Amino acid sequence: MKVKQAKAVARQWVVEAAGTIPGFVGAFSHGSINWLSDEAILPPTSDVDIMVILADPNPPVKPGKFIYRQVMLEVSYLPQDQVQSPDQILGNYRLAGSFQTAQILADPAGRLAPLQAAVAGEYARFPWVYARCEDARRNILRHLQSLREADPFHDQVTAWLFGTGVTTHVLLVAGLQNPTVRQRYRAARDLLLEYGYGNFYERLLTLLGCAQMDPARVEQHLAVLAAVFDIAKTVIKTPFPFASDISDQARPIAIDGSRALIERGDHREAIFWIVATYSRCQKVLYHDAPAAVQEQFQPGYRQLLADLGIHSPDDLRQRSEQVKAFLPQLWQVTEAILAANPLISRKS
C-alpha cells in the first residue's frame, strides 16, 4: 500500500470514529509517515500514527495500535493546550518536525491549517532548531532522573534505555531529520557518516553496550524475545500506555521489525528496540502472569542485559552517570552539525 492510500485510511477512521470522542478538537498524521513520499510504499513493519487533539488537559490512556481497513493505526491523544501557538510546537522536538508536514485529518474550527503554516515557515530557522536540540537534551535527563531504585528492575532498565537512546535524537534534530523511535540508531549512524563523524557513532553504541555484539547473538536474543512476547500478549490485563504494542496486531512491528534490521546487517541497531520490547514484556508478566511464568522468562532477560554489561541496579546508575558525562561531547558534535547543515536558515 502506498503512503497516500494509508493516509486516506487514517482520514476515514477520523471521520468515522474520532468525532465521537468527548472533547474532540482535531486530528493530524504524526510520526514517520510524514517523512515519506506519498508515492512510497508503506513498509509492513510500520504503522500510521494519528494524533487526536482533545480539549481535556488530562486525556485518557491512548487507544494505541489496532488494525483498521488493513492498515495498522496507532492513535494517541494530545491535549489542546499543547498546540496553542506556533512557538509551543516549534520548541517541541518530538512534535515540530512531524507537524510541519502533517496531513490535517480533521480541523473543525479551522485552527490547525494556519498553525501548521506558521510552524512550517519557522521550522528550519536556527534559533528553533537549536531550541529543539536543547529540548531533546533535556529529555535525556528526564528519563535518567526517572530511574528510581524502588521501582521494579525492568522499569529501571526502561528509564536508562530511553535516556541513553535519546542521544540519537539530539543529533537527528540538528540534522533536521526524523527523531524516529525503533530505527533511531540506524538513522543516527547515517547522519553521522554524512557529516564525517562515523567514529563518533561507535561511542553511542558503546553507551548502549552493544558495540561488540555479533549478529548471531542478537538473533538469539530476538528468538527468546519472540517467545516471551507471545506469552505476554495472551496474559496482559493491566492497562498500560504501551499495552497495544504487546499484541498480535503489533507483532510485525515489535518482532518482525527487529528481524528486518538484523537481516539488513543492522543487528547492533536492533538492540535498542529489542531491549525496549523485552522490558515491556517483563512489565506485563510482572503484573499479570503467574510467578512460574515470570521465573521462566527472567533468565533470557538477564542474559540480554548481561551482554550489555548490566547485571544490577547499581550498573544502571553507573551507566546513567556515563551518559550524563557524555553530554558535553554529544553537544559538541550537535553544534558542529548545526553549523554545517545547509538546510538551516540563519536569516533574522
117 and 187 co-located in one domain: no
Q: What is the dihedral of CA 185, 87, 34, 339, to 10 degrees?
A: -50
DSSP secondary structure, 131-179, as one string = HHHHHHHHHHHHHHHT--TTS-HHHHHHHHHHHHHHHHHHHHHHTT---
Strands 104-106 and 71-79: unpaired
- Cα-Cα-Cα-Cα dihedral of 117, 120, 121, 122, to 10°? 130
CATH number for the domain spanning 99: value is 3.30.460.10
Residue 252 lies in a domain: yes
Quick check: is 346 in a domain? no
Residue 250: alpha-carbon gap to chain centroid: 15
- Tell me, yes or no, whether 186 and 283 share the same domain: yes
Residue 348 pLDDT: 67
Please indicate, yes or no, whether residues 239 and 175 belong to a single structural domain of this protein. Answer: yes
Q: What is the rounded CA–CA span in Å between residue 13 and residue 3?
A: 15
Q: Are residues 301 and 165 in the same domain?
A: yes
Q: Which three cell numbers stand for residue 309?
A: 554489561
Query: How many domains does the chain divide into?
Result: 2
In the block, residue with C-alpha cell 553544534: 335
216 and 317 part of one domain:
yes
Q: Is residue 216 part of a domain?
A: yes
The answer to whether residue 94 is domain-embedded is: yes
Residues 264 and 287 in one domain: yes
Asked if residue 112 belongs to a domain, the reply is: yes
Do 132 and 103 fall into the same domain? no
Per-residue pLDDT of the chain (348 residues), as tens digits, is 999 999 999 999 999 998 889 999 999 999 999 999 999 999 988 899 999 999 999 998 889 999 999 999 999 999 999 999 999 999 999 999 999 999 999 999 999 999 999 999 999 999 999 999 999 999 999 999 999 999 999 999 999 999 999 999 999 999 999 999 999 999 999 999 999 999 999 999 999 999 999 999 999 999 999 999 999 999 999 998 889 999 999 999 999 999 999 999 999 999 999 999 999 999 999 999 999 999 999 999 999 999 999 999 999 999 999 999 999 999 999 999 999 999 999 986
Give the 3-state secondary structure of residue 237. Answer: coil
Same structural domain, 108 and 138: no
Same domain assignment for residues 181 and 280 = yes
| Whether 163 and 291 share a structural domain | yes
The answer to the question of residue 25 being in a domain is yes
Residue 104 DSSP SS3? strand
160 and 103 assigned to the same domain: no
User: Is residue 344 situated within a structural domain?
Assistant: no
What gap in Å lies between CA 153 and CA 5, rounded to an integer? 42
Q: Which residue stretches of 289-312 are H helix?
A: 291-307
CB contact burial 227-240 (16+ within 10 A = b; e otherwise): ebbebbbeebeeeb
If asked whether residues 112 and 244 sit together in one domain, one would say: no
Give a yes or no: residue 104 inside a domain: yes
Instruction: Please say which residue of 97, 122, 147 terminates a domain.
Output: 122
> 55 lies in which domain range?
3-122
Please state the pTM of the whole predicted model. 0.96
